Chains A and B, each alone.
Chain A
Amino acid sequence: MSRQNTRLDVKKVNSELFTLTYGAIVSQLMKDYENVEDVNKQLDRMGYNIGVRMVEDFLARTNAGRCYDLRETADKIQYAFKMYLGITPALTNWSAAGDEFSLTFDTNPLTEFVELPDNYQNLKYSNILCGALRGSCEMVQMDVSCWFVQDQLKGDLATELRIKFNKRLEDAIPAGED
Chain B
Amino acid sequence: MHLQILQVYFSDMALCVAVVSKENAPKYVTSLNPEDELQIQYEIHSSIDFVEEKLKTGKKDMRDLYLGLLYSTEDHKIYGYVTNTKVKFFVVIDSSNLLLRDNEIRFMFRKLHTAYTDLMCNPFYIPGDYITSENFNKVARGILTGNS
A116 on interface, CB distance cutoff 8 Å: yes
Q: SS class of chain B's interface: helix, strand, loop or mixed? A: loop
B125 on interface, CB distance cutoff 8 Å: yes
Minimum Cβ distance to chain A for residue B138 (Å): 11
Total count of chain B residues near the partner, CB < 8 A: 10
Report how many A-B pairs have Cβ atoms within 8 Å: 29
Q: Which A residues between 62 and 107 are near B, CB-CB below 8 angstroms?
A: none
B24 on interface, CB distance cutoff 8 Å: no
Q: Which A residues between 14 and 32 are near B, CB-CB below 8 angstroms?
A: 16, 19-20, 23-24, 26-27
Minimum Cβ distance to chain B for residue A178 (Å): 26
CA distance A35 to B20 in the complex (A): 36
> Is B121's CB under 8 angstroms from A26's CB?
no
> Is A120's CB under 8 angstroms from B124's CB?
yes
Query: Considering residues B119, B121, B124, B134, which has the most beta carbons from chain A within 10 angstroms of its beta carbon?
Result: B124
A: residues with CB less than 8 A from B are 16, 19-20, 23-24, 26-27, 112-117, 120
Q: Nearest 6 pairs between A and B by C-beta?
A: A23-B123, A113-B121, A27-B123, A113-B122, A115-B122, A117-B124
